[in-house]
Copies of this chain bind each other. A is one copy, B any other.
C-alpha cells in the first residue's frame, strides 16, 4: 500500500497536520521539523493523494480539454502545449474528443463538471446559449469562439483571410470559391464575413462541409464546376481533399486552380504541391487558454493571436 500522511507522521513523531502543513504551508512549520518531515516523506516515497486533497479544498488540480476531433492534426500541437503549460502549474489535463457531435460535447462537459477545476473548450460545436448555461456548472476558457463574459483565445482569422484574398487577387484571381466548415464554427463565420466585404470579388459559397479530407473531396466536383480559379478552404484538411479531388479530375493545382487552406498542419507541409495556408498559432493558443482559465476562473478576457499567410506551392497566377 502507498504511504499516506499518517505513515509519514508516525515515522517522524509528529502529528499529521504538521506533515500536511509541511507541504501546503511550509512557512508555518519550524525548519528543523520541516526537514525531518521531508526526509521521512522522501524515504517512504510519500506523494499526497490528490483525491483526498480535492475533497477538502474543493480544488482538483485537474482540468478538462475538449476538442472536436483529436485525429484532426490541428489539435495535437494545441493539446501538447496546453498540457505542458498545465503541468508547469501543477495541473493535470483530461483530454476528450467529441467526434464533432454537440450532444457528446454536452455530456462530456457535464461529466467533467464535478471533477475538474475548469474546462478548455476548443473549437466547440455547441451553441453560445448552451455554453453559457453549462458555465454555471464549471468555469470555461474557450478557444476559437467568442462567448459573452467568458475568457477566450481567438485567432485572427479575419486578418488571415484578408491576406489570403489579397494574395489571390494579386495573382489575378477574381472568381473565388469559399468552402466553409461545420455550422457554428467561428472560423467559418469569420472567413465569410471578410470575404463578403471584399471589394470587386466574385465569390461562390459552398457549405456547410465536414472539416475533413472527405469534406473537401466531396465538394471538389462542385467547386470545379463553378468556374472559380481559386479556392479558400475552411482548413488544410479540406484543402488537401479538394486538391485530391481536383487532380482526380485532371485539374492541376496551382496551374488551373489555386488552393489556400487554414491551420498549417503537417500533412499540408508534406503535400505535393506544398499547401499555401494561413498558419494558426495552435500551440500558443493552448498555452494562453490554460493561463486564462487558471487566472480568470471563468471571468471574461479575450486574447487574440495573429495568424500569418504562408505562401507555398498551391497558389499561382490565374489562367
Which residues in chain A, 60-118, are within 8 Å of chain B measured between CB atoms? 60, 69-71, 73, 76-77, 79-80, 83-84, 92-97, 110-111, 113-115
Q: What mask results when residues 252 to 273 of chain A are scored 1 for a CB within 8 Å of chain B, else 0?
A: 0000000000000011001111
A47 on the B face (CB < 8 A): yes
The residues of B that contact A266 with a CB separation of less than 8 Å are: 71, 73, 213, 267
Verify A79–B73 contact, CB threshold 8 A. no
Chain B's closest residue to A272 (CB) is: B272
Chain B's closest residue to A97 (CB) is: B80
Verify A47–B94 contact, CB threshold 8 A. no
Taking A95-B79, A95-B95 as contacts, is the C-beta distance between A114 and B267 under 8 angstroms? no
How many residues of chain A have a CB within 8 Å of chain B? Answer: 40
Taking A51-B55, A115-B51 as contacts, is the C-beta distance between A76 and B70 under 8 angstroms? yes
The residues of B that contact A137 with a CB separation of less than 8 Å are: 2
Q: Which positions in A face B, CB cutoff 8 Å?
A: 2, 47, 49-52, 54-55, 60, 69-71, 73, 76-77, 79-80, 83-84, 92-97, 110-111, 113-115, 137, 213, 240, 244, 266-267, 270-273
4 more CB-based (< 8 A) A-B contacts, given A70-B79, A71-B266: A50-B114, A51-B55, A92-B115, A213-B266
- Some 30 contacts from A to B, beta carbons below 8 A apart, are A2-B114, A47-B111, A49-B55, A49-B114, A51-B51, A51-B54, A51-B60, A51-B115, A70-B76, A70-B79, A71-B77, A76-B76, A83-B95, A83-B97, A84-B97, A92-B94, A92-B96, A92-B111, A93-B94, A93-B95, A93-B96, A94-B95, A95-B95, A213-B270, A240-B270, A244-B270, A267-B267, A267-B271, A271-B272, A272-B273
